[in-house]
Structure 1
Amino acid sequence: MSGFSKYRDRFLEDWYHTNGKAYFLIICLLYFASFFLKRLFVIDSIAAFEILEQRGEMWLMDLFFGLQYLSVPLFLAWKFSLTAFVLWVGCFMFGYRITYAQIWKLVLVMELVFIVPELLKTLWLVVLANDPDYFEVMAFYPLSLMHFFDYSQIPSSWHYPLKALNLFELVYWALLALGIFWVSGKKLKISVTIVATSYVLFFLLWLGYYVVVYR
């Protein structure tokens, strides 16, 4: 146990000195790359956009996708800050002395989980999908509950929640619990409870709110 404690202390010492800004930049660049690949190999091949390109009317969609790139850093900063705050409150309620900065950096690194489905989405649509239209592209999310429904037969307010409930989100919850357990050095069971009663609860309430408001 003493060996484990020494290894953990050494890891945390390195963790405190890692450059959070560099990690944030890397995450943003990975999202930029995934969006660019999707635009290059999927969006540009959709028939409707090819027609717009021929008519010289594609500039509006170019503007839309350009704004999407610009919004990535703002969205991620907001997401990381809110998620870290919710988890920090959860840790505080259970008496775990973890700083907000530690949790923010933890959330930042765990975001790598969501880069995987973005890349898988592009791969699936390029290799396996049969000439998808724009709405099929927007409704698709790998290993999500949306696979069990026909997106055209359900209200649009359910599209986002069904995509948000996916295997990668579950992995994210587990990694958050393991991260809090590792950083705090406390019991894993309590770390799981903290994540379940703070982030997971907040996430599910947000999905319920979304369905009610946007129906």
Structure 2
Amino acid sequence: MKNPLLWLLLLISLTLTVVTKNTLVSNSLYFNSLAEKLSYEQIQELLAKGKKWEWVGYILVLIVYIIKCLLVALCLTLGVFFVFNRFEFKRMFNIAVMAEFVFLIPTVFKLLWFLFIQTSYTLQDLQYFHPFSVLSIFDPLSLEPWLIYPLQVLNVFEAMYWVVLAYLLSKELPELDMNRSMTVVMSGYGTGLIIWVAFVMFLTLTYT
């Protein structure tokens, strides 16, 4: 893929993942968080397996970013097609990549929060920490599992992402003003997001 912004996105996201893994997640954190549920030997075995397959997790991070950008581009392409009756996948993919940088902000925020503010934390704290989301006003442990993901999705950065998508779309296609661009984002990406959230909720209900 000859897209320098995509490579930059992948590089930054991988770097943040590695830094987060090596600064926030330690063996002692696992032992402190899982001591009541697993034996010492079980935790050691879990850590050994995690270390062995750590590289797979990093590759999956890159794959997830690429797939997400492709899916968002597809949703936008369909939205534009319904308005102009033409396909613009390549241009929509570039927009999806640029807009995805918005979601690096909460990752950096999370890293800084646990490094300098909440320095005492558990694995659950890391797992359920979603700044400026609706989930943050609830106790995740008191919620039904299928509710957690949709409450995570309802956040300030998701709203910013929608606005950035609409703005970039209006710049890429001058015949669209900001209002019409937002309509395309809502009909294309918004529909795809609703389907995805419903799918995750279904899987959560099925396997929990």
TM-score interval (norm. to shorter) = 0.7 to 0.9
The answer (yes or no) to whether the contact 1:88–1:100 under 8 Å persists in 2 is yes
Deviation string 1:121-161 (CA, Å, 9 cap, x unpaired) is: 11111222252111221111111111111011112222222
The code of the aligned residue for 1:76 comes to Y
Asked if 1:70 corresponds to 2:70, the answer is no
Q: Distance in 1 between matches of 2:58 and 2:44?
A: 22
The aligned counterpart of 1:144 is 133
Secondary structure of the structure 1 residue equivalent to 2:26: helix
What stretches of structure 2 of length at least 5 have no aligned partner? none
What corresponds to 2:105 in structure 1?
116
Is this contact kept in 2: 1:96–1:184, CA < 8 A? no
The alignment yields a C-alpha RMSD, in angstroms, of 2.3
Alignment partner of 2:132: what SS?
Answer: coil
The one-letter amino acid of 2:18's match is F
Distance 2:196 2:108 in 1: 26
Q: Structure 1 residue 49: deviation in Å?
A: 4.6
Are 1:201 and 2:184 an aligned pair?
A: no
Q: 1:129 to 1:211 in 2, by over 3 A?
A: same
Greater mean alpha carbon deviation, residues 66-75 or residues 143-152: 66-75
TM-score using structure 2 length: 0.84
Q: Does 1:35 align with 2:17?
A: yes
Give ranges in structure 1 of 5+ residues lacking alignment.
1-18
Shift of 1:76: 1.6
When normalised by structure 1's length, the TM-score is: 0.82
1:209 match: secondary structure: helix
* Residue correspondences, number: 196
Deviates more, 1:95-104 or 1:129-138: 95-104
Please name the residue that 1:190 is paired with. 180
The alpha-carbon distance between structure 1 residues 181 and 210, as it changes in their structure 2 partners (threshold 3 A), is same
Distance 1:81 1:188 in 2: 23
Q: Which residue matches 2:48?
A: 59
Aligned amino acid, residue 195 of structure 1? V
SS of 2:120's equivalent in the other structure is coil
Deviation >6 Å, runs of 4+: 50-53
> Identical aligned pairs, as a percentage?
21
